Structures are given as C-alpha cells and as structure tokens.
Structure 1
Amino acid sequence: MADAAVEPVVSIGAGALGRGMPMHLCLDPSGLITSAGPTLAKIAPMPLVGLGFFTRFDLKRPIGIADIAGLRGSGQRLHLTLRGAADTGLRGLALALPDGGVLLNLSFGIDLPDAVRQHRLSDADFAPTDLAVELLYLIEVKTLVMAELHDLNRRLQGAKSVAEEQAQTDTLTGLRNRRAMDNRLAELIDAGAPFGLMHLDLDWFKQVNDTFGHAAGDHVLQHVARVLTGETRLHDIVARVGGDEFVIILPGLIDAARMHGIAHRIIDRLNEPIPFGDKVCSISASVGMAISSAYARPRPDRMLSDADQALYASKHAGRGRATVHSPDG
C-alpha cells in the first residue's frame, strides 16, 4: 500500500507574511502571539506579540473555543473582536501549522468602512491583492450617487410643488385661481365642513380700463387683491375667477351678520380712491353671499350660482352693496 501523500511545508519570513497578509496572527502551540500583521498591529491599542491570543481577543463564534486545540480544529469562519477596540468586528480563518501552532488570517468583513474611518487606514494597510480598496471606492461612489439622487429628488419635489402652486395661482394678483377655488370647495363639502361663500364683482372697473388703460386696470386689480387679503383670515381662500370677479371662501363662518360685516369693510376700503401715477382710479364693489348651512346638501355649482344671483341683486339695488342669498327666495 502506497504511503499517504505528505503536504509540502512552505516557509515564509515575517516581513513577506506581513506584506501578503497584513492582518495575520501567528500563534505558537501554547497560544502566544508570535507575529502580527502591520495593519492588525496598527489598530491594536497595545503591542500584541508575546501576549496570549485569548487574553487579547474575544471569540464570538464558533461558541466554546477556548484553547489552541479548539482553534486548530475549528475549520470554519471565526467572528472575533480585539479587546480595547471592540467597536471593530473581525472575521478570520484559522490554519493549523505543522509545529502545533495556528496561522490566523483576519479581515474586517462588513465592518470595513467603519474600520477604515475609525483607524484612518489607507491603501497601504491592505494586501495588494485585497479588494478592500476597490470595495471602499464602490461604497463611496454609491454614497455619492445616492446623495445626488436624493438631492435630485428633493429638487424635483420642490419643482413639482412650485408647479402645483403656480397652477393654482393667478399670476397678476397672486391670489388663488378658479382651479384652487374648485378644489377647496370640493374639500369642504366632502368633509361636511360649514363655510360661507362671497362672490365679489368690481363696479366701474371697465371705465378705469377705458379711461386710463390696461396698466391702470392691472394696478387696480393688484390693489383689490391686497384689500381682500387684508380683510380675510389666513386660512380663507381668496380667488380671482374672472377679469374683475373674485370669490372668497370662509371656512367655519356661517353667521350672516359677520359675513355682512366683512363684506362692508371690503366695500368701504374699495370705495377709497386708488392713486395711479398722477391719476386717481375710482371703483366700488358689489357682493353676493351664500352660506352652506342653508342647504340640506350643498353643491359647489348651486352655491356659486346662488351667490351670483345675490351679487346681481346687489348691483340692481344700486351697487356697492352686499346681499345674502336665501334658498327660500
């Protein structure tokens, strides 16, 4: 019967071993550390050579290994930490040496990015064949790409918000437009929330345009927008829905007397002369109002139509007036 094949013994100096395996440990048969790779020595809080392996390292897995014999027979991946640097996890493989000792080849595993950052490691701290640096490069690239994507998404969301805001804003006055008014009416009715509605139309506005030109008309409309905003609450909706027509939605306000008070304050302020260069523009306003609680189930089109009827009742009564629509006539 032929003799069993004998594995050749390879001898390598400590310097070469350190270059090829910068995170190695050599243990003698008693478990003392006889050699430590330069990277492992760099992260250790104190010199390792001459100390017992089990006094400097905590072996997490496999469980139950407490001596050199257990290491030599482990045959599986080791999970361990270095005492004094417990934040850095290590992975390794134990190889039995012919003299009864052990060669441990260690790495940082998934803790590589944290270890490089914590211990200020560089390319020189890894073996030339180690893919750690390439992995770090990929991680850095991924981080930069994710940051750029996050920033792009934030800018797109911002642009979307701006576009949505612009889509519901009257460009001349900065007030809400008809689309915003329709959306808010639908929200209030769907929620069953009470509200008051005002439809305001400017009196004598056509004469301003005909006499002083459209620039004066635009100036007057912007002045009206400031008055309406100033006489309403922050959560009220003031919308320009036509050339010189405005709708005001007053959530929670269904008291006719209070609505009359707001309407008359607006009318009084719009009766004041409006300077435009060396000219003075004069307008007034008529208001029609509807209150959601006056309807069994309010509908936007019905309430707008009723407020419009009340508006024309104000105009026919002499302009510069406010009228609340009564569903009973």
Structure 2
Amino acid sequence: MKHMANTDVMDVLCPMHLMLDAQGVITHVGPTTQKLRPDMALVGLPFLEAFTVRRPRGVATLTQLWAAQSLKLHLELAGEPPARLKGVLVPDGRGAAIVNLSFGISILDGVRDYALTNADFAATDLAIEMLYLVEAKSAAMESSRQLNLRLQGAKVAAEEQAFTDTLTGLKNRRALELLLERLLAANACFAVMHIDLDYFKAVNDTLGHAAGDHVLQVVAGAMIEETRVTDTVARVGGDEFTVILPNVSDIDVLERVGRRIIERIEVPIPFKGQVSKISASIGTVWIQSSNTATRATVMEDADIALYASKKEGRARQTMYTPELRDTANSGLRPKGRSKRPS
C-alpha cells in the first residue's frame, strides 16, 4: 500500500478494524470495534496499551509488533467484558498500519455479548453467513419445540380423554384398572370402596334421563369433596362408582369417609322443580400389602361387600371379610356380578 486507505471505505469493507500511526497510536477505530468498548476512547491510545498480544508470545514493544506484520495475532482488548479477538497487522508502506480484527470462532459469543447484528459486519463477511445459519437453526429448533409441545399437549389431552368419564369428569373404568394394577404391583397398602346408588332407577323412570344425568353429576361432585386429594374417584358403570384410597393405615378412616359419602348422597337433589331422593350402598376392601390379591379378586371382594350392604337395607357401608365370600359361595348370593337391588 502506498497510502492510507480512506476511512469511510474501510468502515464499510472492514467495520471491525483499527488504524495506527507510525508510533503505534490508534488514529481511527472501525464502527464495530468501537461497539466493543463504547465508553472507552480508543483513538489516541497506544495499540499495546489498548490490546495485549497473547500470541505470538513476547510481543510487547512497537518494534516487535511491526515484526509480527501479516501474522495472525491473538489479542485481548482492555476493559470489561473480556474480549478475545483475532487480528492481522498490515503496514501501509509509510510507517503506519491497519489492523483488521475478528472474533474468529467466538463470533456467536461476541454477537451475544455486544448485541451485534449483521449490520455490524461487512456484507461479504462469512460471519454474516454463519449468523444467518444460526438464526435459521434457532428458528427451526423453536418451530420444532413448539410442534413438540403441541403434539405432547394433544397426546396428554387424548390420554386424559381416554381415561375420563365424559358425563361426570371422573376417571373411568380403564383408568381405575390401571391404577389398581400399579398399586398391586407395588404391594401397596390401599382401600377400594365400591359404591352403588340406591333407588337411582326410579329417578330415570319417573323424572327422565336428564334428571338422572344431573343426579350423577351432583353425586360425582359430592364424592370428590368428601374424599382426599390423593384419592381417585371413578365412575365404572351407570350408577356405580369406585373410590381408591391409597396409604390407608386405619380402618376408622374408611368408616369416616364412607359415612360422609352416604350422608351427602342422602341429601335430596333438586332438578327443574322436582326432587330426587337416593342413597348409597358401599362395599369396602382394605388391602394391606397382600401379595396374593389381583385386580379381579379386589373388585369381586368389594362387590361382595356391596351386596351385603344392599341386603342389609341399603345406605350403609360393609367392610369385606372372608366370611362374606363364604356366604356368597354358599349360594345365598349368585356368583359374579349379579343383579343387585337398585
């Protein structure tokens, strides 16, 4: 070079550069370079005060700096935050020089730390292409993340719908069976209440199915309110419900919960000027870490206890005992899920 390049041209072609005079003092700073230290007056500072040359090692004087011309310099800019840069010094043939700078492979950190944009780099700089690629990748990753979230949400919603009774919003038989299987596999201590509504058929017969649906919804809400947040309430049939109560260590808890449910359901339920009067019979099984119980036997035992409550006059809770099964097997109660009094 025979003379110093025009600063305006350099600011466009190499916006991240410095110009030095023959004494190594900074005479001009490119616009992007100045953004790295907006509060530092770089013009007028000796280059070796503004920058530390990390490599090549031993560059600490102006003579040594001129000797490193055309070599790749590893530089650290004074001030905070730390700025590690790459540079190359090119003399202008008149004792002065231009130092072109870059972030090297740390460009993404530089863009982030100094809020740079593509306007801070030359239009032909490969850094622009990298920034475009990063932006495209980020946009694609965000789109993928949003899609995954939507798919996950749809999956959760579908699974929830598959395990939910549409009329009452309670869990359904499928959800109940899965929960029972998990508890039995874990050899857990839990209880199962099988609940049947007394006189519900009369509601449908006299007031219609709309009244019956309303009664079922009111009953579902009552059962939720009278059980613990850790309990699961499911509708398993037309007017049949099941409550699973995990971690029950005292039979008194079961008796209290059953009594509350019975008392709530006995409260008359109004519907369009008419009143529905029903009650609830409950059969309860308390499983205390049994390795022999199965889902089928648990539900059958609860059904046997429920039949006993119906047989004894309804609106009561019966705790399952082996004697009840003996009575059922003796022929006093048809085997299986027989037709119970409504």
Q: Is 2:46 the partner of 1:57?
A: no
Deviations 1:263-318 (A, max 9, x none): 23322332232211111212222211111128453222111111111111222222
Find the residue that maps to 1:298 and give its secondary structure.
coil
The residue type paired with residue 22 of structure 1 is P
Match of 1:5 in 2: none
**Unaligned 5+ residue runs, structure 2?**
327-342
Matched, 1:77 2:72: yes
Shift of 1:117: 6.4
Percent identity of paired positions between Structure 1 and Structure 2:
48
Q: Which residue of 2 aligns with 1:40?
A: 33
2:61 is aligned with 1:67: yes
Q: 1:36 to 1:282 in 2, by over 3 A?
A: closer
How far is 1:106 from its partner? 0.6
Q: State whether structure 2 residue 159 is matched by structure 1 residue 164.
A: yes
1:1-329 alignment runs, 5 A limit: 11-15=3-7, 16-28=9-21, 30-41=23-34, 43-44=36-37, 45-71=39-65, 72-73=67-68, 76-95=71-90, 98=93, 102-112=97-107, 115=110, 125-293=120-288, 295-328=290-323, 329=326
Equivalenced residue count is 321
CA distance in 2, matches of 1:229, 1:292: 22
Are the equivalent residues in 2 in contact too, given 1:254–1:291 (CA < 8 A)?
no
Q: 1:201 and 1:152 mapped to 2: Cα distance?
A: 44
Question: Against the structure 1 CA distance between its residues 218 and 25, is the aligned structure 2 distance closer, same or farther, given a 3 Å change threshold?
Answer: same
Which stretch shifts more, 95-104 or 141-150?
A: 95-104
SS of residue matched to 1:248 = strand
Other-structure match for 1:4: none
2:53 counterpart SS class: strand
Structure 1: which 5+ residue stretches go unaligned? 1-8
| 1:190-231 alpha-carbon deviations (Å, 9 max, x no partner) | 222211111111122112112211111101111111221122
- CA separation of 1:238 and 1:127: change in aligned 2, threshold 3 A: closer
Deviations 1:100-132 (A, max 9, x none): 655321123355456556666566543342244
Which deviations, in whole Å up to 9, do the C-alpha atoms of 1:66-120 show, x marking residues without a partner?
2344443376532323223544432212345655655321123355456556666
Runs of 4+ deviating beyond 4 Å: 9-12, 41-44, 96-102, 110-125
Amino acid in structure 1 at the alignment position of 2:6: A
1:20–1:127 Cα contact (<8 Å) kept: yes
Per the normalisation by structure 1, the TM-score is 0.84
Q: In structure 2, how many angstroms separate the alpha carbons of the residues matched to 1:291 and 1:67?
A: 88
1:159-204 alpha-carbon deviations (Å, 9 max, x no partner): 3222222222111111111122112212222222211111111122
Give SS of 1:292's match.
strand
**Structure 1 residue 325: Cα displacement:** 1.4
Query: Aligned partners of 1:96 and 1:299: how far apart in 2?
Result: 88
Deviation at 1:47, TM superposition (A): 4.0
d(CA) in 2 for partners of 1:57, 1:100: 20
Aligned residues of 2:204 and 2:212 also touching (Cα < 8 A): yes
Q: Any idea what SS the aligned residue of 1:247 has?
A: strand
Contact persistence 2:3–2:94 (CA under 8 A): no
Q: Secondary structure at the match of 1:84?
A: coil
Paired AA for residue 21 in structure 1: C
1:211-267 Cα deviation digits (max 9, x unpaired): 211111101111111221122111111111111111111112253343233223322
**Contact 1:68-1:101 at 8 Å conserved across structures:** no
